[in-house]
Structure 1
Amino acid sequence: MSTSSLDMTSAEDAAGRLGISRASLYAYVSRGLIRSFSSPHDPRQKLYALEDVEALAERKARFRRPAVAAATALDWGLPVLETSITQIKDGRLFYREQDAIALSASASLEETACLLIGGLDDTAFRQSSRSPETFSDPACGPYSYVTQAVRLLSAPAPRETRSAEVAAILRLMAAASTGRDPGVEPLHRHLANAWAAPQAADAIRRALVLCADHELSASAFAVRVTASTGASLRNAVIAGLAALSGPYHGGMTERVRAFLEAPKGPSPAGFRHRLYPDGDPRAQALLENVPLLSSDATILRAAASASGTKPSVDTALVMVERAYGLPTGAAFVLFAVGRTAGWLAHAIEQRSQATLIRPRARYVVTGETPST
């Protein structure tokens, strides 16, 4: 990784800022919390990323001030609830303790949903849905796709087993983009065929699996809050869709596409993920063996050379869309359809806890800046 755009500091300064020993500093580095690099002036000397040191110092300060920790917990802060679904650790992503990158090499979204949720009868995915939904024109992109998906999810639904309900919801999410019922066809093949891109089927499968869950993302939290009220699984998924559509979440794919089509200025947020200092492993796995457009490949190299940044999954999804000539907006659809598996897992886990998520707010007088 290039260090030209990073502010670096010495071991003595880093340890002093954190109030720790050199040994503790090295332990933080080994755990992936602080990046270290060889000094360009003396290869025997190590330098440390100042932004990582400062972020860790801020985190330690939160622990010492409970009120501040609580106030900032919802902003990439301290864990606020327990889950057994997904873990992000040392730059790696795990679904129920299985490496998600390894899983994406061969698993389907349906198999991944069964893993994330647990206790499902997988034969439900091989049986036709009993839902009477009326499909319409294909839709891609945050606005049109979400509108279509919400319409389908809001339609009256028959009483079904949990397995059948999960299968039906996943099919509806795919149908919202293609305009027709997937039936018992695997969702990645259904999308590839509907988009007239059978050669993209395996890349689509991998994308769906890699997007299936990402711990407590904004959309997953919205799903859990909704599910905690006792709302139906379909309504919980609608809440997730609404959150995903925003430009700082799944809607980031629209910003990435605009940048790739007319690159100007520094790389967009889609080229770095705060949970992966050394690069988003989902993006790397997704882009393997994908025939990137020459312009996109050039942008990747330029971004890596200029700033040391690597693409996040948002960027990788758009590059897959462009590489295979998928409909504009397909990147968002892949994100949404894949993430539905995780949303359902979070909704079901939250409902099993029978606890209402109801945080408190600190009242401030109008015009007053909330203290942190």
Structure 2
Amino acid sequence: MNEACRQLGVRQQTLYAYTSRGKLEAMADPADSRRSLYRAEDVARLAQRKQAGRKRETLASQALSGVEPSIPTALSTFHRGSLFYRGQDAVQLAQSGSLEQLAQLLWASEGPITFSTDGAKPPQPGRAAAFSVLGVLAAQGLSTQGRSPRVLCDEAQALVGQLALAMGAQRSARPLHERLAKGWKQTAAVADLLRVALVLLADHELTSSAFATRIAASTGASLPACLLAGLCTLSGPSHGDASGQIQGHLAEVERLGADAVVQRHLAMGLPLAGFGHHLYPDGDPRAQALLALFEPSPRVARFIQQASAQTGLPPNVDMALAALVAHLNLPADASFGMIAIARSVGLLAHCFEQLEVRQSIRPRGRYVGPRLVGV
């Protein structure tokens, strides 16, 4: 209680009021029934909001940095350390669901989704091929304005299918995880692992890439242009390509050993990518679900164990995905490929949701440059 009061800068009475209004979750202290324990996640979130304040200028300047999200969405959210897609637990959906079924849920499609496409598989599948294909489609695409949801949904299915082909998936009518496994010369058991990963990666609320997609959608840009805007943003190392940094760590682990890599990075004050997530202080449930389905190599397992022990941060889904790619010896672009394919479903869902608003996203700049001449 004292620590919660200190972090929030309030008295005990105010803490009780926060609890009664549902802003904080409290439970009895097992060691002393006269005391209460408060959920650290709730305290941190409330402290952040209090610090941000309620001034209009503060809210306007911070709304774009994630302190106080301002775009309503019915697609995904977080609650008590879990991720939910349209109110359903993402980890539970991943136990048996496919990316096609999740797309039907997120896109609110009346019919089944197939991701079928007439596109051709490129001779050199990978990231470059994927962006090249989307670039051409974006240049030739039709505006979303004046087109029915059914037509846009059909185009979205083909877009995801073409993206998957460009990343190496086999061309067939089978579910996408099976097509990826075939294209990467993997077994049916591996296909099921890919299915779980794809469902877990499909959306993550209002990320930078989702926001970029929504901005493009709000202008009436074509579906491929909206998707390309989102995927370009996703490609940054601080977003969807974090697994690229982790693969570098794992390559070091193979050469130097897990203990040496962890010690070297921490001794130099270098962060270890793939550990911790500010939305999941108790651990990323997506990582937990994925890592429970396979055994990483002994060296990778040792690296995860040592890094977590020395930093106090559990592995996140980027670490789990990189470990899966290393475990299966998948192509170098497989981590980004799976994230891009899965997240394309979520990005297109954000596009569809934004189209219902029928209003351009146009933030205002707060000028801080030189004094205006002649004014």
Q: State the TM-score, normalized to the length of structure 2.
A: 0.82
Paired residues of 1:210 and 1:282 also in contact (CA < 8 A): yes
Structure 2 residue 265 is the aligned partner of structure 1 residue 265: yes
Match of 2:153 in 1: 163
> 1-side partners of 2:310 and 2:25: how far apart?
21
C-alpha displacement at 1:21, in angstroms?
4.0
| Worse-superposed segment, 13-22 or 269-278 | 13-22
> 2-side partners of 1:225 and 1:119: how far apart?
23
Structure 2 residue 230 is the aligned partner of structure 1 residue 240: yes
Paired residues of 1:280 and 1:313 also in contact (CA < 8 A): yes
> 2-side partners of 1:31 and 1:197: how far apart?
48
> 2-side partners of 1:192 and 1:220: how far apart?
27
Stretches of structure 1 lacking an aligned partner (at least 5 in a row): 1-10, 368-372
C-alpha displacement at 1:76, in angstroms?
2.2
User: Alignment partner for residue 189 of structure 1, among 166, 178, 186?
Assistant: 178
C-alpha displacement at 1:365, in angstroms?
1.6
C-alpha displacement at 1:190, in angstroms?
0.6
Match of 1:121 in 2: 111
C-alpha displacement at 1:120, in angstroms?
3.8
Match of 2:50 in 1: 60
User: Alignment partner for residue 358 of structure 2, among 334, 354, 357?
Assistant: 354
Match of 1:370 in 2: none
| Structure having greater relative contact order (Cα 8 Å, sep ≥ 6) | 1
Match of 2:314 in 1: 310
Match of 1:284 in 2: 288
C-alpha displacement at 1:90, in angstroms?
1.5
C-alpha displacement at 1:17, in angstroms?
3.9
Distance 1:184 1:25, change over 3 A: farther
Aligned identity (percent) is 37
> 1-side partners of 2:364 and 2:141: how far apart?
35
| Worse-superposed segment, 208-217 or 146-155 | 146-155
Letter in 2 for 1:100: A
User: Alignment partner for residue 175 of structure 1, among 144, 147, 165?
Assistant: 165
Letter in 1 for 2:342: G
Match of 1:135 in 2: 121
Match of 1:7 in 2: none
> 2-side partners of 1:179 and 1:208: how far apart?
13
How is 1:193-208 mapped onto 2 (pairs within 5 angstroms)?
Answer: 193-198=182-187, 199-208=189-198
> 2-side partners of 1:273 and 1:33: how far apart?
21
Stretches of structure 2 lacking an aligned partner (at least 5 in a row): 253-260
Deviations 1:23-60 (A, max 9, x none): 765867x9897999x9xxx9658898999866643421
Provide the aligned C-alpha RMSD in A: 3.2
Structure 2 residue 99 is the aligned partner of structure 1 residue 98: no
SS at match of 1:170: helix
Distance 1:154 1:359, change over 3 A: closer
Aligned length: 347
Match of 2:134 in 1: 150
User: Alignment partner for residue 19 of structure 1, among 3, 9, 32?
Assistant: 9
Letter in 1 for 2:229: A
C-alpha displacement at 1:233, in angstroms?
1.3
Deviations 1:264-283 (A, max 9, x none): 41452421111111111111
> 2-side partners of 1:153 and 1:273: how far apart?
35
C-alpha displacement at 1:20, in angstroms?
2.9
Structure 2 residue 283 is the aligned partner of structure 1 residue 294: no
Deviations 1:224-282 (A, max 9, x none): 00000011111110001100111100111111111122234145242111111111111
User: Alignment partner for residue 332 of structure 1, among 301, 315, 336?
Assistant: 336
C-alpha displacement at 1:366, in angstroms?
5.1
Deviations 1:262-308 (A, max 9, x none): 23414524211111111111111111121211111111111222222
